[in-house]
Structure 1
Amino acid sequence: MPKVRLPATASNDDFSRLEELFDQALSLPQQDRETYLLDTCAGDTDLLARLRALLAAHEDEEQVSDLHRQTQKEENTFQGRRLGPYELESLLGRGGMGAVYLAHRADGQYESKVAIKVVDLPLATDAFYDRFKQERQILARLTHPHIARLLDGGVSEDGILFLVMEHVEGTRIDDYCRSHKMTAEAKLRLFVAVCGAVQFAHQSLVIHRDLKPDNVLVSEDGAPHLLDFGTAKLMSSDGTADTRGLTREGFLSFTPAYASPEQVLGRSVTTSSDTYSLGVLLYQMLTERLPYELNDFTAEEMIRVICEQEISPPTSADRTFPDKDLEAILAKALRKEPEQRYQTADAFAADVQAYLDHLPVSARRGNLRYRARKFSRRHRLALSFTAALALTLLMGVFAVLRQTHAARVAEQNSEASAKDLSQLSDTLLTELDDAIKQLPGSTGAQQLLVARVLEHLDRMAQNPRSNSFTKVSLANAYVRLASLQASPYEQNIDDVPGALHSLEKATTILTTLAAATPSDATVLLALARAQDARGEILSFADDSAGAAKNLNDSVKTYEGLLKSPAASPALFFEAGSVIDTLGDVMGQDTGFADPEAALRDYRLAIDFDRRALAMNPDFKPSRRGLATMQMKIGNVELDEQPAVALIDFKAAMTMLDALPAVERSRLDLTRLRALLLRKQALSLSELGRYAEADSLFAQSTAIYMQIAAADPKDLRALRDLDRLLTNETFSVENEADPSLTVPAAAQQQESSSRQALARAEELEAQRAVTLEKLLQVSPGDVIPSQELAAVRVRLETLRLARRSPDDLTLRRDREALDTLRSAASKEAASTLVLDMAGHAFMDVRPTSLRDTAFALQCMERGTALTHRKVPSWLLSLAQAYRASGDPVRALASAREGLALLPQDNADRNFRLRRQLEYELKFSRKQ
Structure 2
Amino acid sequence: MEPTTENLLLTEAIFHEARAVPDEARNELIKTRCKGNRSLAAEVHSLLEACKAEENEAASCRLESEAGRKFAPESKRAGPYLLDRLLGRGGMGAVYLAHRADGHFELKVAIKLIDLPLASEVFRDRFRQERQILAGLQHPYIARLVDGGVTQDGELYLAMEYVDGVPIHRFCEEQHLSARQQLELFLRVCEAVQFAHQNLVVHRDLKPDNIFIVEDGTPRLLDFGTAKLLSPSLVGQGNEFTRLGLMSFTPQYASPEQVLGNPITTASDTYSLGVLLYLLLAGALPYELKEFTTEEMVRVICNEPPRKVQALDSGKRLDSDLEAILQKALRKEPQQRYLTAERLASDLHAYLEGKPVAARQGTIRYRAAKFIRRHTLGLASAILLATTLAAGIAGVLWQAKVANEERRKSDARSADLRQLSDSLLSELDEAIKQLPGSTGAQKLLITRVLEHLDRMAKDARGDRLTELDLVNAYTQLGNIQGNTYDQNLGDSAGAMTSLDKAIAIAQPLVASNPDDRDVLEALANAQESRSEVEYWNVTEKPQEAIAYMKASAATYDRLAALPNVTPAQLLAVSRAYNTLGDQLWARGSAGLVDLPAAIAAYRKGIDFENRVLRLEPGNVRARRGIGTLQMKIGSVELDTDPAQALKDIEIALQYFDSVPEADRKSLITVRNRAITERKKAMALEELGEHARAIRLFEEVLQIDRQIAAADPNDQRAIYDIGVTLQDTARSYEDAANPLLNSSLEDRRRNLLSAERSLEEFAAVSEQMLRQNSANEDWKVGLAQAQVRIGSLRQVLHLPGESEALSRKGLAVLKDLVEKDPGSEAVLDSALQAILKIEPASLRDPRLAVEWAERGVALSHRKTPKWLLSLAQAYHAAGQIEKARAAAKEGLALLPVLPPGATKPRIRRLLEIESRTELLSS
Q: What amino acid is the match of 1:712?
A: P
Q: Tell me what 2:657 maps to.
A: 657
Q: Tell me what 2:729 maps to.
A: 729
**Aligned partners of 1:405, 1:672: CA distance in 2, in Å?**
59
Cα distance change, pair 430–911 in 1 and its aligned pair in 2 (3 A):
farther
- Which of 503, 525, 531 is 1:529 aligned to? 525
Q: Tell me what 1:547 maps to.
A: 545
Stretches of structure 1 that go unaligned for 5 or more consecutive residues are 1-217, 223-403
Q: What amino acid is the match of 1:553?
A: A
User: 2:648 aligned with 1:648, yes or no?
Assistant: yes
Q: Tell me what 1:797 maps to.
A: 791
Q: Deviations over 1:90-133 (max 9, x none)?
A: xxxxxxxxxxxxxxxxxxxxxxxxxxxxxxxxxxxxxxxxxxxx
Q: What amino acid is the match of 1:584?
A: D
Q: Deviations over 1:682-705 (max 9, x none)?
A: 101110111211221121011011
Cα distance change, pair 823–593 in 1 and its aligned pair in 2 (3 A):
closer
CA contact (8 A) 1:583 1:599 kept: yes
Q: Tell me what 1:693 maps to.
A: 693
User: 2:844 aligned with 1:851, yes or no?
Assistant: yes
Q: Tell me what 1:830 maps to.
A: 823
Q: Tell me what 1:598 maps to.
A: 598
Farther-moved stretch of structure 1 (674-683 vs 858-867):
858-867
Q: Tell me what 1:577 maps to.
A: 575
**Aligned partners of 2:721, 2:693: CA distance in 1, in Å?**
16
Q: Tell me what 1:149 maps to.
A: none
Q: Deviations over 1:537-580 (max 9, x none)?
A: 33324444323332332233233333333211111111121122
Cα distance change, pair 451–413 in 1 and its aligned pair in 2 (3 A):
closer
Q: Secondary structure at the match of 1:800?
A: helix
Q: Tell me what 2:79 maps to.
A: none
Shift of 1:644: 1.0
**Aligned partners of 1:577, 1:804: CA distance in 2, in Å?**
48
CA contact (8 A) 2:822 2:858 kept: no
**Aligned partners of 2:576, 2:673: CA distance in 1, in Å?**
22
- Which of 495, 498, 501 is 1:502 aligned to? 498
Spell out the pairing of 1:360-379 with structure 2 (5 A cutoff). Answer: none
**Aligned partners of 1:639, 1:574: CA distance in 2, in Å?**
30
**Aligned partners of 1:440, 1:839: CA distance in 2, in Å?**
37
Q: Deviations over 1:652-672 (max 9, x none)?
A: 111111111221222121111
Q: Tell me what 1:771 maps to.
A: 765
Spell out the pairing of 1:183-262 with structure 2 (5 A cutoff). Answer: none
Cα distance change, pair 407–854 in 1 and its aligned pair in 2 (3 A):
farther
Shift of 1:713: 2.3
Q: Tell me what 1:839 maps to.
A: 832
Q: Tell me what 2:607 maps to.
A: 607
User: 2:868 aligned with 1:875, yes or no?
Assistant: yes
CA contact (8 A) 1:418 1:469 kept: no
Shift of 1:623: 2.1
Shift of 1:525: 2.3
Q: What amino acid is the match of 1:817?
A: L
CA contact (8 A) 2:634 2:645 kept: yes
**Aligned partners of 2:618, 2:662: CA distance in 1, in Å?**
14
User: 2:710 aligned with 1:710, yes or no?
Assistant: yes
Corresponding pairs, count: 521
Shift of 1:714: 2.0
Q: Secondary structure at the match of 2:739?
A: helix
Farther-moved stretch of structure 1 (536-545 vs 443-452):
536-545
Cα distance change, pair 407–716 in 1 and its aligned pair in 2 (3 A):
farther
Q: What amino acid is the match of 2:616?
A: N
Q: What amino acid is the match of 1:447?
A: K
**Aligned partners of 1:419, 1:528: CA distance in 2, in Å?**
25
User: 2:667 aligned with 1:674, yes or no?
Assistant: no
Q: Tell me what 1:915 maps to.
A: 909
Cα distance change, pair 901–549 in 1 and its aligned pair in 2 (3 A):
same
Q: Deviations over 1:160-187 (max 9, x none)?
A: xxxxxxxxxxxxxxxxxxxxxxxxxxxx
Cα distance change, pair 923–714 in 1 and its aligned pair in 2 (3 A):
farther
- Which of 464, 469, 477 is 1:468 aligned to? 464
**Aligned partners of 2:402, 2:602: CA distance in 1, in Å?**
49
**Aligned partners of 2:733, 2:444: CA distance in 1, in Å?**
43
Spell out the pairing of 1:338-417 with structure 2 (5 A cutoff). Answer: 408-409=403-404
Q: Deviations over 1:141-164 (max 9, x none)?
A: xxxxxxxxxxxxxxxxxxxxxxxx
Q: Tell me what 2:897 maps to.
A: 904
**Aligned partners of 1:532, 1:603: CA distance in 2, in Å?**
18
User: 2:862 aligned with 1:864, yes or no?
Assistant: no
Q: What amino acid is the match of 1:680?
A: K
**Aligned partners of 2:400, 2:841: CA distance in 1, in Å?**
78
CA contact (8 A) 1:687 1:907 kept: no
Q: Deviations over 1:33-76 (max 9, x none)?
A: xxxxxxxxxxxxxxxxxxxxxxxxxxxxxxxxxxxxxxxxxxxx
TM-score normalised by L of structure 1: 0.53
Cα distance change, pair 477–870 in 1 and its aligned pair in 2 (3 A):
same
**Aligned partners of 1:547, 1:485: CA distance in 2, in Å?**
17
**Aligned partners of 1:649, 1:804: CA distance in 2, in Å?**
39
**Aligned partners of 1:912, 1:616: CA distance in 2, in Å?**
42
**Aligned partners of 2:605, 2:597: CA distance in 1, in Å?**
12
Q: Tell me what 2:428 maps to.
A: 432
Cα distance change, pair 552–801 in 1 and its aligned pair in 2 (3 A):
closer
CA contact (8 A) 1:887 1:924 kept: no
**Aligned partners of 2:765, 2:571: CA distance in 1, in Å?**
36
Q: What amino acid is the match of 2:469?
A: S
Percent identity between matched residues is 40
**Aligned partners of 2:657, 2:904: CA distance in 1, in Å?**
28
**Aligned partners of 1:589, 1:762: CA distance in 2, in Å?**
27
**Aligned partners of 1:682, 1:507: CA distance in 2, in Å?**
39
Cα distance change, pair 812–798 in 1 and its aligned pair in 2 (3 A):
closer
Q: Secondary structure at the match of 2:629?
A: helix
CA contact (8 A) 1:627 1:656 kept: yes
Q: What amino acid is the match of 2:858?
A: L
Cα distance change, pair 619–600 in 1 and its aligned pair in 2 (3 A):
same
**Aligned partners of 1:572, 1:521: CA distance in 2, in Å?**
11
Cα distance change, pair 860–436 in 1 and its aligned pair in 2 (3 A):
same
RMSD: 2.8
Q: What amino acid is the match of 1:773?
A: Q
User: 2:437 aligned with 1:444, yes or no?
Assistant: no
Q: What amino acid is the match of 2:675?
A: L
Q: Tell me what 1:810 maps to.
A: 803
CA contact (8 A) 1:824 1:858 kept: no
Cα distance change, pair 572–420 in 1 and its aligned pair in 2 (3 A):
farther
Q: Tell me what 1:108 maps to.
A: none
Cα distance change, pair 603–484 in 1 and its aligned pair in 2 (3 A):
same
**Aligned partners of 2:902, 2:688: CA distance in 1, in Å?**
10
TM-score normalised by L of structure 2: 0.53
Q: Deviations over 1:507-540 (max 9, x none)?
A: 1111122233334333222112212222333332
Q: Deviations over 1:465-503 (max 9, x none)?
A: 672211111111001111112223221112222222111
User: 2:617 aligned with 1:623, yes or no?
Assistant: no
**Aligned partners of 1:809, 1:833: CA distance in 2, in Å?**
23
Q: What amino acid is the match of 1:528?
A: A
Shift of 1:925: 4.4
Cα distance change, pair 220–853 in 1 and its aligned pair in 2 (3 A):
farther
Shift of 1:506: 0.9
Q: Tell me what 1:562 maps to.
A: 560
Shift of 1:827: 4.0
Q: What amino acid is the match of 1:441?
A: G
Stretches of structure 2 that go unaligned for 5 or more consecutive residues are 1-230, 236-398
CA contact (8 A) 1:490 1:668 kept: no
